[in-house]
Amino acid sequence: MVTRTFSKLATTHAEQVALLRLRGMSVPDEARATFYLQHLNYYRLAAYWLPFEADHTTHAFRPGTDFDSVLGLYVFDRELRLLLLDAIERIEVSVRSRWAYELAHAYGPHAHLDPLLGRSLPHWHVNVRKLKEEVHRSDETFIKHLRSTYSETLPPIWAVCEVMSLGLLSRWYGNLPATPVRRAIAFTYAIDDLVLASWLHHLSTVRNVCAHHSRLWNRDFTVTPKQPRTKPVTMAALWQRGSRRIYNTLLLVSHLMEVVAPESSWRKRLVELLARQEPRPPTMGFPPGWQRLAHWQP
């Protein structure tokens, strides 16, 4: 049983700057540092100067560490989150569309209410309950119109898909039985259905990290994406087996974006962002010489 009580007192921004200097960080512009500490929070920035520490026990910084380097890493992480959010939004909308289209054409406009289309019946019931909650919370005009006009338990699948969260979409696809419909959805993205189920689950956790403005660049993910075995052929060789870092995420997202938004230049924007920031490979899971791999070339 933990009995220790928290005894640290709050510090002023001036005291925070003084503490950083005492620990060896160069802060040439105190007003600039104070501004960012005021708006970003000392505790939040601490996650970004952690890699610059020579000794975590004393929090002493390595020689040459300066405030702008820490701030640059923070800005890089923010831009990476925004870039991933842009991609995940497009991927989510695409999979929603394919899920609704394939199920509606195979099983009708209310296929989502068919318990036979659940690999696990208890999971199907949970998914339907959560979908009802999301529909009832929605203030979309089209949802209000459908609910007030028709007596069905839920609106048709091509409408409800528009208010589904990515997490629920992931669980719904993962619970589909091994049918031609499940495989047809995955075929759109040139991957196996088991891989797509895994990737959607992983991306739902990545999206939550990004949406809550949490640290991303050197995170160890607890939910990791499944490695493709045969398709796409080129990706199996690029995959970093056993890694929990962001590299595999960026790899799979770049593949999916080539399918759903080939004109977005997402991969090019990612490579340009990476080129502006160091360090990368030791903390993000990138393999040595990744820049020379054909996948990452313009």
- Is the per-residue pLDDT at 282 higher than 90? no
Looking at residue 155, its pLDDT comes to 87
Q: How far apart are CA 19 and CA 31, in angstroms?
A: 15
| Domain map (residue ranges) of the chain | 13-65, 75-296
- Is the per-residue pLDDT at 183 higher than 90? yes
Q: How far apart are CA 273 and CA 86, in angstroms?
A: 14
Instruction: Give SS3 for 79.
Output: helix
Q: Shortest CA distance to 176 belongs to which of 117, 264, 103, 236? A: 117
In this structure, the number of other CB atoms found within 10 A of the CB of residue 235 comes to: 21
* Cis-peptide into 156, omega within 30 deg: no
Q: Which range (41-45, 135-139, 243-247) has the least confidence?
A: 135-139
* Cis-peptide into 28, omega within 30 deg: no
Instruction: Give SS3 for 3.
Output: coil
The length of the chain, given as a count of residues: 298
In this prediction, residues 76-87 reach a mean pLDDT of 97
Q: Shortest CA distance to 286 belongs to which of 231, 245, 228? A: 245
In this prediction, residues 18-24 reach a mean pLDDT of 96
In this prediction, residues 263-286 reach a mean pLDDT of 85
Looking at residue 233, its pLDDT comes to 80
Of residues 149 and 79, more confidence is placed in 79
DSSP string across 24-76: T-B-S-HHHHHHHHHHH-HHHHHHHHGGGEEETTTTEEPTT-BHHHHHHHHHH
End-to-end Cα separation, the chain, in angstroms? 56
- Is the per-residue pLDDT at 149 higher than 60? yes
Cβ proximity of 30 and 20 under 8 Å? no
Q: Shortest CA distance to 257 belongs to which of 80, 87, 81, 95? A: 87
E-assigned strand segments in the chain: 53-55, 60-61
User: For residue 95, what are its two tokens?
Assistant: 């999979």
In this prediction, residues 181-194 reach a mean pLDDT of 96
In this prediction, residues 200-222 reach a mean pLDDT of 96
Cβ proximity of 17 and 30 under 8 Å? yes
Cβ proximity of 206 and 225 under 8 Å? no
For the whole model, what pTM was predicted? 0.92
In this prediction, residues 104-120 reach a mean pLDDT of 95
Looking at residue 229, its pLDDT comes to 87
Number of Cα atoms under 13 Å in the Cβ half of residue 245: 15
Q: How far apart are CA 10 and CA 13, in angstroms?
A: 10
Cβ proximity of 104 and 156 under 8 Å? yes
